[in-house]
Structure 1
Amino acid sequence: MTTLSSATDAFLASRAADGHQTAFGVLVRRHAPFLVAFATKLTGSRADADDCVQEALITAWRRLPDLADPEKVRSWLTTIVSRKVTDRMRARKISEQIDEEMVSLGDDPERSVVASSQMDALKKVLADLPEELRVVWVLREIGGHSYDEIASEVGETPATVRGRLARARKTVLERMQEWR
């Protein structure tokens, strides 16, 4: 009888896809060091890398039944991590672009103070949103991406993206009410 620690990735992935948490735990322990090192190289930050890998593993657990080739679980996990890193870096870049736009508001100091204060409030609201809502909001509202593009980038259906975007918009509007 094969112990889980010596089982192949394909066997573990198949078991995990059936809901076997211990099999998934073995996969995580086996591949996490590589995934964290990979994400660290991409992000330049161990803290960001840890967050991206954690998000990727949550996604992987949910999507294991969709894994077409259990033999390629490591490359599948690497792809998910890469997407999470891309999302994080894109969101950071967009945030930096917003900051730059705020700096170049013009010569009206009163407008700059109000806009800066409003932008700080928006950033706080966005920071408080769950990651899956924040990513779709930023990609749609600031990045101008289509529902299909967002769905492809976050690995969800366009319908799921629409639902998340609706919840994100509602939350942002409620929390930004004083600025309307």
Structure 2
Amino acid sequence: MSETVQYPDRDRLEDVADAILVGRAVDGDTGAFETLIRRHGPLMRAYTARIVGSMADADDVVQDAFHTAWRRLPELRDPAAVRPWLMRIASRLAFSSLRRKPAEVELPDLESALPADTQPENIAVRNAQLRALSAALDTLPEDQRRCWLLREVGELSYDDIAQEMELPTATVRGKLARARASIYAQMEGWR
């Protein structure tokens, strides 16, 4: 990617498949890469925010993830699988960032986005649900929580999670089943 290329149809890139965008970005089309950022950045931000504990730290992680992705994009074997690839990069950087934090520093509460319906009572209920889910996630063992986040927030496949965590797929399925059962039991009052 030595030279930046701009294509005249940049405004129409929103409807282009990921695989094509990756190919164009590898050829130096920054507009195609920007489209990938707009398309996958919000999910990466939400996922990493849950790991690192704040939106500000998540923004740093996502920025680093996209910087890494831009440099390593030619190494991507399956351009259609760019989303799981980006999520793996973000996951590694988020957990690395978390390991660098001093152990005695408490992580702040996760900032939550407002729902579309901005009635105060709906906001209060939604925030209470998110706090309950966050508390339920905090009770899980680290490996179960990580599996659950990769699957439910990161939307990775069982095989991608197994690869990311270096575990057999059957083990990932078991950890997810235990995590879901625990969360289901703890969230009983919200159904």
* Structure-1-length-normalised TM-score: 0.50
| Structure 1: unaligned runs, 5 residues or longer | 100-180
CA distance in 1, matches of 2:78, 2:28: 17
1:63 aligns with 2:63: no
In the other structure, the counterpart of 1:81 is: 90
- Cα shift readout 1:124-145 (whole Å, capped 9, x = no counterpart): xxxxxxxxxxxxxxxxxxxxxx
- Cα shift readout 1:47-90 (whole Å, capped 9, x = no counterpart): 11110000000000000000110010000000000011011011
Aligned residues: 96
Q: Which structure is higher in helix share?
A: 1
Partner letter of residue 12 of structure 1? L
Report the alpha carbon displacement of residue 96 of structure 1 after superposing the two structures with TM: 3.6
In the other structure, the counterpart of 2:45 is: 36
In the other structure, the counterpart of 2:187 is: none
Higher relative contact order (CA 8 A, sep 6+): 2
1:47 aligns with 2:63: no
Extract structure 1 runs of 4+ deviating beyond 3 A. Answer: none
| Structure 2: unaligned runs, 5 residues or longer | 1-8, 106-191
User: Which secondary structure state, in structure 2, belongs to the residue aligned with residue 19 of structure 1?
Assistant: coil
In the other structure, the counterpart of 2:185 is: none
In the other structure, the counterpart of 2:25 is: 16
In the other structure, the counterpart of 1:152 is: none
In the other structure, the counterpart of 1:5 is: 14
Computing the radius of gyration from Cα coordinates, the structure with the larger value is 1
CA distance in 2, matches of 1:87, 1:44: 13
Give aligned-pair identity as a percent.
Answer: 46
CA distance in 1, matches of 2:91, 2:27: 25
Q: Could you tell which deviates more after superposition, 1-10 or 59-68?
A: 1-10
User: Which secondary structure state, in structure 1, belongs to the residue aligned with residue 23 of structure 2?
Assistant: helix
